[in-house]
């Protein structure tokens, strides 16, 4: 074993998180941040573009065009998409992780399906 400065258990893999996270305002006993940034809500346009890109290889051309037309209606300024997107943005501000919590109605419906 080497006795040089910088070697040994103090520089082991267990001490690395403290170095990496040393810029955090507040850390726990292991050096990890007490709070993490909130999960971002991707822009509605990006979500719809990703959806179309995922459908392209597995959807017939006619069906893909129909889906694109539906998406245009959905994302129109007076469509349902912007209102639902705003709902997610509001939940992001109110919740620690908007993507993990689910509305009570959804949980009840899932219980009915699986019971």
Q: Does the pLDDT of residue 47 top 70, yes or no?
A: yes
Locate 8 and state its tokens: 């040994």
3-state secondary structure 64-94: HHHHHHHHHHHHCCCCHHHHHHHHHHHHHHH
Q: Which position has the higher pLDDT, 27 or 95?
A: 95
Q: Does the pLDDT of residue 39 top 60, yes or no?
A: yes
Please name the fold of domain 37-97. Fumarase C; Chain B, domain 1 (1.10.275)
Q: Does the pLDDT of residue 49 top 70, yes or no?
A: yes
* pLDDT reported for residue 68: 96
β-partners of residue 53 are: none
Measured distance CA(109)–CA(104) in Å, rounded: 9
The ranges assigned to domains in the chain are: 37-97
């Amino acid at each position: 074993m080497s006795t040089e400065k910088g070697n040994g258990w103090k520089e082991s893999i267990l001490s690395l998180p403290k170095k990496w996270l040393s810029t955090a305002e507040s850390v726990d006993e292991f050096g990890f941040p007490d709070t993490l940034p909130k999960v971002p809500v991707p822009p509605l346009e990006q979500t719809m573009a990703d959806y179309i890109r995922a459908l392209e290889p597995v959807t017939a051309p006619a069906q893909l065009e129909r889906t694109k037309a539906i998406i245009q209606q959905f994302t129109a300024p007076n469509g349902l998409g912007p209102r639902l997107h705003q709902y997610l943005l509001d939940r992001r501000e109110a919740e620690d992780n908007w993507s993990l919590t689910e509305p009570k109605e959804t949980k009840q419906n899932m219980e009915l399906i699986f019971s």
